[in-house]
Amino acid sequence: MERIIVITGGSRGIGAATARLAAAQGDAVVVSYLRQRAAAEALVRDITHAGGTALALAADVSIEADVERLFRDVDSAFGGLSALVNNAGMLEAQSRVEDMGAARLTRIFATNVIGSMLCAREAVRRMSRRHGGAGGAIVNLSSAASRLGSPDEYVDYAASKGAIDTFTIGLAKEVAADGIRVNAVRPGVIRTDIHAAGGEPDRVNRVKSSVPLQRGGEPEEVARAILWLLSDDASYTTGALLDVSGGR
Protein backbone atom coordinates (compact mmCIF):
# COMPACT_ATOMS: atom_id res chain seq x y z
CA MET A 1 0.00 0.00 0.00
CA GLU A 2 1.19 3.52 -0.73
CA ARG A 3 2.04 5.68 2.23
CA ILE A 4 0.58 9.16 2.67
CA ILE A 5 3.36 11.57 3.61
CA VAL A 6 2.88 15.21 4.57
CA ILE A 7 5.93 17.37 3.82
CA THR A 8 5.71 20.89 5.21
CA GLY A 9 7.55 23.59 3.32
CA GLY A 10 7.61 21.16 0.43
CA SER A 11 7.62 23.51 -2.54
CA ARG A 12 11.39 23.81 -2.92
CA GLY A 13 14.79 22.80 -1.59
CA ILE A 14 15.00 19.77 0.68
CA GLY A 15 11.20 19.48 0.91
CA ALA A 16 10.74 19.33 -2.86
CA ALA A 17 13.58 16.84 -3.24
CA THR A 18 11.99 14.65 -0.58
CA ALA A 19 8.60 14.85 -2.31
CA ARG A 20 10.07 13.83 -5.67
CA LEU A 21 11.95 10.85 -4.26
CA ALA A 22 9.03 9.72 -2.11
CA ALA A 23 6.62 9.89 -5.05
CA ALA A 24 9.07 8.01 -7.26
CA GLN A 25 9.03 5.11 -4.79
CA GLY A 26 5.24 5.01 -4.77
CA ASP A 27 4.25 7.23 -1.86
CA ALA A 28 1.43 9.79 -2.05
CA VAL A 29 2.83 13.15 -1.02
CA VAL A 30 1.16 16.29 0.32
CA VAL A 31 3.36 19.36 0.05
CA SER A 32 2.39 22.37 2.10
CA TYR A 33 3.60 25.82 1.17
CA LEU A 34 3.34 29.35 2.53
CA ARG A 35 3.97 31.71 -0.40
CA GLN A 36 5.45 29.58 -3.16
CA ARG A 37 2.16 28.47 -4.73
CA ALA A 38 3.51 28.37 -8.29
CA ALA A 39 6.50 26.27 -7.26
CA ALA A 40 4.32 23.87 -5.25
CA GLU A 41 1.85 23.43 -8.09
CA ALA A 42 4.66 22.91 -10.60
CA LEU A 43 6.13 20.22 -8.34
CA VAL A 44 2.76 18.48 -8.11
CA ARG A 45 2.39 18.59 -11.91
CA ASP A 46 5.80 17.05 -12.37
CA ILE A 47 5.01 14.26 -9.95
CA THR A 48 1.59 13.49 -11.41
CA HIS A 49 2.90 13.57 -15.00
CA ALA A 50 5.44 10.96 -13.93
CA GLY A 51 2.61 8.76 -12.64
CA GLY A 52 2.81 9.69 -8.97
CA THR A 53 0.27 11.06 -6.52
CA ALA A 54 0.71 14.53 -5.06
CA LEU A 55 -1.31 17.39 -3.63
CA ALA A 56 -0.29 20.97 -2.79
CA LEU A 57 -1.95 22.73 0.15
CA ALA A 58 -1.36 26.23 1.50
CA ALA A 59 -0.63 26.55 5.22
CA ASP A 60 1.29 28.80 7.58
CA VAL A 61 2.58 26.31 10.14
CA SER A 62 3.02 29.06 12.73
CA ILE A 63 -0.78 29.50 12.84
CA GLU A 64 -2.62 26.76 14.71
CA ALA A 65 -5.82 27.08 12.66
CA ASP A 66 -3.83 26.67 9.43
CA VAL A 67 -2.17 23.52 10.73
CA GLU A 68 -5.50 22.04 11.79
CA ARG A 69 -7.01 22.85 8.40
CA LEU A 70 -4.02 21.33 6.59
CA PHE A 71 -4.45 18.00 8.30
CA ARG A 72 -8.24 18.02 7.88
CA ASP A 73 -7.68 18.53 4.15
CA VAL A 74 -5.30 15.56 4.15
CA ASP A 75 -7.99 13.51 5.87
CA SER A 76 -10.50 14.50 3.20
CA ALA A 77 -8.17 13.79 0.31
CA PHE A 78 -6.59 10.53 1.48
CA GLY A 79 -8.43 9.30 4.56
CA GLY A 80 -5.27 8.65 6.52
CA LEU A 81 -1.68 9.56 7.27
CA SER A 82 1.48 7.48 7.34
CA ALA A 83 4.28 9.94 7.92
CA LEU A 84 5.19 13.58 8.51
CA VAL A 85 8.29 15.46 7.42
CA ASN A 86 8.55 18.65 9.47
CA ASN A 87 10.56 20.58 6.90
CA ALA A 88 9.05 24.09 7.01
CA GLY A 89 11.52 26.54 8.48
CA MET A 90 12.95 30.00 8.14
CA LEU A 91 15.83 32.26 9.01
CA GLU A 92 16.36 35.99 8.74
CA ALA A 93 19.21 38.26 7.72
CA GLN A 94 22.58 37.53 9.29
CA SER A 95 22.87 39.37 12.60
CA ARG A 96 24.58 39.36 15.95
CA VAL A 97 22.38 38.66 18.97
CA GLU A 98 22.80 42.20 20.32
CA ASP A 99 21.01 43.48 17.24
CA MET A 100 18.06 41.05 17.30
CA GLY A 101 14.60 42.21 18.32
CA ALA A 102 11.76 40.31 19.91
CA ALA A 103 9.69 40.39 16.72
CA ARG A 104 12.42 38.57 14.79
CA LEU A 105 12.85 35.97 17.54
CA THR A 106 9.10 35.41 17.69
CA ARG A 107 8.94 34.80 13.93
CA ILE A 108 11.82 32.32 14.02
CA PHE A 109 10.51 30.29 16.93
CA ALA A 110 6.87 30.43 15.81
CA THR A 111 7.71 28.77 12.52
CA ASN A 112 10.68 26.57 13.33
CA VAL A 113 9.63 25.27 16.75
CA ILE A 114 5.95 25.88 17.40
CA GLY A 115 5.02 25.03 13.82
CA SER A 116 6.86 21.72 13.98
CA MET A 117 5.27 20.87 17.30
CA LEU A 118 1.76 21.69 16.08
CA CYS A 119 2.21 19.57 12.95
CA ALA A 120 3.59 16.70 15.02
CA ARG A 121 0.61 16.97 17.35
CA GLU A 122 -1.82 16.58 14.45
CA ALA A 123 0.19 13.71 12.99
CA VAL A 124 0.28 11.88 16.33
CA ARG A 125 -3.47 12.25 16.74
CA ARG A 126 -3.91 10.44 13.42
CA MET A 127 -1.13 7.83 13.51
CA SER A 128 -1.04 6.82 17.17
CA ARG A 129 -2.38 3.38 18.05
CA ARG A 130 -3.65 5.03 21.22
CA HIS A 131 -6.04 6.95 18.98
CA GLY A 132 -6.91 4.08 16.65
CA GLY A 133 -4.18 4.73 14.10
CA ALA A 134 -1.81 2.26 12.48
CA GLY A 135 1.42 3.86 13.65
CA GLY A 136 3.80 5.86 11.50
CA ALA A 137 6.94 7.97 11.44
CA ILE A 138 7.95 11.60 11.86
CA VAL A 139 11.17 13.20 10.68
CA ASN A 140 11.99 16.67 11.95
CA LEU A 141 14.40 18.90 10.08
CA SER A 142 16.98 20.21 12.49
CA SER A 143 20.36 21.62 11.44
CA ALA A 144 24.06 21.22 12.11
CA ALA A 145 23.65 24.78 13.41
CA SER A 146 22.15 23.29 16.57
CA ARG A 147 25.65 21.96 17.37
CA LEU A 148 27.70 24.82 15.92
CA GLY A 149 25.69 27.80 17.20
CA SER A 150 26.07 29.95 14.03
CA PRO A 151 27.85 32.87 15.74
CA ASP A 152 27.70 36.23 13.95
CA GLU A 153 25.05 34.85 11.61
CA TYR A 154 22.00 33.02 12.96
CA VAL A 155 22.25 32.23 16.67
CA ASP A 156 18.46 32.49 16.86
CA TYR A 157 18.01 29.96 14.05
CA ALA A 158 20.57 27.65 15.66
CA ALA A 159 18.76 27.91 18.99
CA SER A 160 15.46 27.03 17.33
CA LYS A 161 17.05 23.93 15.85
CA GLY A 162 18.46 23.01 19.25
CA ALA A 163 14.87 23.05 20.44
CA ILE A 164 13.96 20.70 17.60
CA ASP A 165 16.67 18.26 18.72
CA THR A 166 15.24 18.18 22.24
CA PHE A 167 11.68 17.94 20.96
CA THR A 168 12.63 15.00 18.74
CA ILE A 169 14.14 13.05 21.63
CA GLY A 170 11.24 13.74 23.97
CA LEU A 171 8.48 13.00 21.48
CA ALA A 172 10.23 9.81 20.34
CA LYS A 173 10.14 8.46 23.86
CA GLU A 174 6.57 9.62 24.41
CA VAL A 175 5.00 7.92 21.38
CA ALA A 176 7.23 4.89 20.84
CA ALA A 177 4.73 2.54 22.49
CA ASP A 178 2.01 4.03 20.28
CA GLY A 179 3.74 2.79 17.12
CA ILE A 180 5.31 6.09 16.03
CA ARG A 181 9.00 6.57 15.40
CA VAL A 182 10.39 10.12 15.63
CA ASN A 183 13.81 11.11 14.33
CA ALA A 184 15.59 14.21 13.09
CA VAL A 185 17.96 14.97 10.24
CA ARG A 186 20.56 17.70 10.80
CA PRO A 187 21.67 19.03 7.41
CA GLY A 188 24.86 21.00 7.10
CA VAL A 189 25.63 23.48 4.34
CA ILE A 190 23.15 22.53 1.62
CA ARG A 191 22.66 24.21 -1.74
CA THR A 192 19.20 25.69 -1.30
CA ASP A 193 17.82 29.22 -1.51
CA ILE A 194 17.56 29.57 2.27
CA HIS A 195 20.96 31.27 2.17
CA ALA A 196 19.53 34.05 0.02
CA ALA A 197 16.95 34.68 2.74
CA GLY A 198 19.84 35.32 5.08
CA GLY A 199 21.33 37.85 2.69
CA GLU A 200 24.17 35.71 1.29
CA PRO A 201 23.10 33.60 -1.71
CA ASP A 202 26.67 32.33 -2.25
CA ARG A 203 27.23 31.31 1.37
CA VAL A 204 27.81 27.65 0.47
CA ASN A 205 30.85 28.51 -1.62
CA ARG A 206 32.23 30.74 1.13
CA VAL A 207 32.09 28.13 3.88
CA LYS A 208 32.58 24.87 1.98
CA SER A 209 36.31 24.80 2.80
CA SER A 210 35.34 24.32 6.47
CA VAL A 211 33.50 21.11 5.57
CA PRO A 212 35.68 17.98 5.75
CA LEU A 213 34.20 16.75 2.46
CA GLN A 214 35.14 20.14 0.96
CA ARG A 215 31.79 20.84 -0.68
CA GLY A 216 28.22 21.82 -0.03
CA GLY A 217 25.55 19.16 0.06
CA GLU A 218 22.67 18.70 -2.36
CA PRO A 219 18.99 18.60 -1.31
CA GLU A 220 18.67 15.05 -2.64
CA GLU A 221 21.39 13.86 -0.26
CA VAL A 222 19.33 15.06 2.68
CA ALA A 223 16.12 13.70 1.15
CA ARG A 224 17.58 10.21 0.95
CA ALA A 225 18.39 10.31 4.67
CA ILE A 226 14.86 11.48 5.45
CA LEU A 227 13.31 8.67 3.43
CA TRP A 228 15.54 6.09 5.09
CA LEU A 229 14.35 7.23 8.51
CA LEU A 230 10.74 6.97 7.30
CA SER A 231 11.29 3.49 5.89
CA ASP A 232 11.01 0.04 7.46
CA ASP A 233 14.79 -0.23 7.08
CA ALA A 234 14.93 2.14 10.07
CA SER A 235 12.37 0.16 12.07
CA TYR A 236 14.55 0.08 15.22
CA THR A 237 15.61 3.72 14.99
CA THR A 238 13.82 6.36 17.01
CA GLY A 239 15.01 9.44 18.87
CA ALA A 240 18.04 9.66 16.55
CA LEU A 241 19.66 12.88 15.32
CA LEU A 242 21.22 12.03 11.97
CA ASP A 243 23.88 14.46 10.73
CA VAL A 244 24.02 14.96 6.97
CA SER A 245 26.69 17.61 7.07
CA GLY A 246 29.77 16.43 5.23
CA GLY A 247 31.54 15.85 8.54
CA ARG A 248 31.19 19.44 9.76
As annotated, the active-site residues are 157
Write out the E strands in the chain: 4-7, 28-33, 53-58, 83-86, 136-141, 180-187, 241-244
CA–centroid distance for 65 within its chain: 19
Rounded CA Rg of the chain:
17
> CB neighbours (10 Å) of residue 134?
12
Write out the E strands in 62-174: 83-86, 136-141
Residues near 228 by beta carbon (within 8 Å), at least 6 away in sequence = 234
